[in-house]
Amino acid sequence: MSVARFQSCQSGKGQLWVPWLYAGDDGRSRWGEVAIGLASGAGDWISAPRASSGVSFRHARRDLALDWHPAARRQYVITLAGEVEYEIHNGERRRFGPGSVFLADDVGGEGHVSRGVGLVDRTSVYIPVDADETLPTSTRIASSVRER
């Protein structure tokens, strides 16, 4: 079983692709990507502000493991320090390290397993996405099942 190591965003002119953990129609978690639109700035590219109800910070032991659970809410998860690995129903694992971000959106169904890995405790930022915030219209499905 392979582990996709240190997932990160992929950017290009006009969009940023963010890893997306979501629940399929069968209630099982899957990986995909969502595109966040970027507008040209003064020598850079920037997205429009996203609606959020706040931000929270988390510090967890490097070996913390949580068995099957769905995301508490739709939220961006940004890892500042340490490493974490997420596993979904088919055994696929993805690892996120410092500077990585993904959208946790598998709020229904069986969820995923998360486990701290590496030698350093994990520090993360959680940014909830408001309930009325719609996902970007561009998505890419990573698993072999093409559904949403």
The domain that holds 109 is classified in CATH as 2.60.120.10
List pLDDT tens digits, range 23-34. 999 999 999 988
* Pairing mode, strands 3-4 and 93-96: parallel
| Residue spans of alpha helices (H) in the chain | none
Residue 85's pLDDT is 96
DSSP lists the bridge partners of residue 16 as 11, 36
Q: Does some domain include residue 147?
A: no
Q: Which of 84, 74, 93, 110 minimizes the C-alpha distance to 31? A: 93
List pLDDT tens digits, range 70-84. 999 999 999 999 999
Distance between first and last Cα of the chain: 25
Domain that holds residue 78: 3-141
Distance from chain centroid for Cα 87:
12
Q: Which residue has the higher pLDDT, 37 or 134?
A: 37
Question: How many domains does one find in the chain?
Answer: 1
List pLDDT tens digits, range 71-128. 999 999 999 999 999 999 999 999 999 999 999 999 988 999 999 999 999 999 999 9
